[in-house]
Amino acid sequence: MFNCDSKPVRIETLIARSVRVHGDLEFAGGLHLDGQVAGDVRADPAAPTSLSVSDTGSIEGSVQVTDLMLHGAVRGDIVARGRVVLGATARVEGSVYYGVIEMTLGAQITGKLVRLTEGEAGPAAT
């Protein structure tokens, strides 16, 4: 989805605006979230993954993916080994562990920003 070097990750799963998931969510490939998740969102660490959260989407739990594009809200820590893109309406209540980060004016983070080095997995991988 984000890397110029590799093929984009295809969005294979869509969670619509009217959907609410209660419990942890694990996925592979690409996921687009317009709804709400009350639980952790984890992606397969062995493959490139992308998570896109629209301005109507929200997650109450931690997030662990390769790449993240956030326009909605996350209440929990984010670990993205690749790239994090925070849109103007993005709201994060937790720390963000990232490989590369891009923030648009208006994005809000209540927590720490921690850059991950090569091979470092971040706190959610333990």
pLDDT digits (tens, 9 = 90+) for 59-115: 999 999 999 999 999 999 999 999 999 999 999 999 999 999 999 999 999 999 999
| Segment 41-48 mean pLDDT | 91
The per-residue pLDDT for 45 is 86
The per-residue pLDDT for 18 is 94
Which of these ranges, 3-7, 24-28, 112-116, has the smallest mean pLDDT?
A: 3-7
- Residue 94: which region, alpha, beta or left (left: phi > 0; alpha: psi -120 to 50)? left
Contacts of 117 (CB under 8 A, 6+ apart): none
Phi, psi of 31 (to 5 degrees): -135, 130
The per-residue pLDDT for 120 is 67
Q: Which two tokens stand for residue 110?
A: 């209540």
**pLDDT over 50 (residue 1):** no
Contacts of 122 (CB under 8 A, 6+ apart): 64, 79, 81, 97, 114, 116
| Segment 44-56 mean pLDDT | 93
Report which DSSP code applies to 1: -
